[in-house]
Amino acid sequence: MYNGLGRLGKAKPHQKISVQRTSPLIWWAACSFAAILGFSRLSYGLLLPALRTDLGGSYSAYGILGTMNFVGYLFGTLTLPFLLAQVWQRLALNLIASCAMSVTLFASGWSFTLWQLGVWRFLNGFFAAFATVLTLALTLECIPAQKRGKASGLIWAGGAIGIVLSGLIAPFILNAGNTAGWRIVWMGMGMVGVVTAIGFARTRATFSSFSASPASTQESSSARLSPQPLWVMLRPLFQPHRLLFLTLSYCSFGCGYIIYFTFFIALLEQQGVSVLNAGFVWAGLVLLVH
């Protein structure tokens, strides 16, 4: 991964240390993304038939629950810039957010009504937004610029691995004949998520002394001292010559894949596909997509 070290010339000391020591950090970041994407966000669609069997309710109600998770994620994404302007300990903030995300997933397994589950799904999305942005940013700032593309790909691949693991493991628990099997799955995922959050925080803490150059530190400090109004930050998203069409494209993509992943397994089971086979299809689909 780091064979190009000899071609870097006179690299800065913190860059040399980063090249030699970032493999465990990238590994833990990938594990964190497995918990964020594979467990926290997309396992909902895999467990939807079991949820409906145990808690009742229509597909419309569960669609609303999925929307609440999205609203929480959107609200968290919009809140994060303002919070970063006030909070200097980003690693501590990420640890709190990642653990809170996993705790809400664990608590979801104790839901006995759709209202309870809806509250936990909203909070789960809110904290997942923090964890997604901060985990990626805290990792990539320790990676030399020419290595960040590959590192980013490996981190996002962790999310795909998490989805595959959920598709391979969850059906065996759900197929055991216990209607509350989905509770066991989510509580187990929540505990694993806490472990990955702590592991990432401990590993990332070793890079604190050389994670950023003086110039980037000054820029970060000035950004904290003079945060921009929300409308100024969002304005490029609505300007045709800036990011409007990219925003619309990404919005359409997000709507499509979330709806598909939410109700795909439910459709398979309605067609008579067993829980075990549906899990294999889920895992295979994710491998092809990623």
pLDDT band at 289 (very low <50, low <70, confident <90, very high): low
State the pTM of this model.
Answer: 0.82
pLDDT 10s digits, 113-123: 999 999 999 99
Residue found by looking up tokens 């790909």 in the block? 153
pLDDT at position 242, please?
A: 87
pLDDT at position 21, please?
A: 64
CATH number, domain 21-289, options 3.40.50.740, 3.30.565.10, 3.90.700.10, 1.20.1250.20: 1.20.1250.20
Residues 6+ apart with CB under 8 A from 230: 78, 82
pLDDT 10s digits, 74-126: 999 989 988 988 888 999 999 999 999 999 999 999 999 999 999 999 999 99
Mean per-residue pLDDT for 147-164? 92
Q: 209-218: which pairs have CB atoms within 8 A and are 24 or more residues apart? A: 209/14, 210/13, 210/14, 210/17, 210/18, 211/14, 211/138, 211/141, 211/142, 212/141, 213/12, 213/14, 216/141
Domain positions in the chain: 21-289
Mean per-residue pLDDT for 189-204? 96
∠ at Cα 73 (40, 151), nearest 5°?
65
Cα(38)–Cα(165) distance, rounded to whole angstroms? 8
pLDDT at residue 48 tops 50: yes
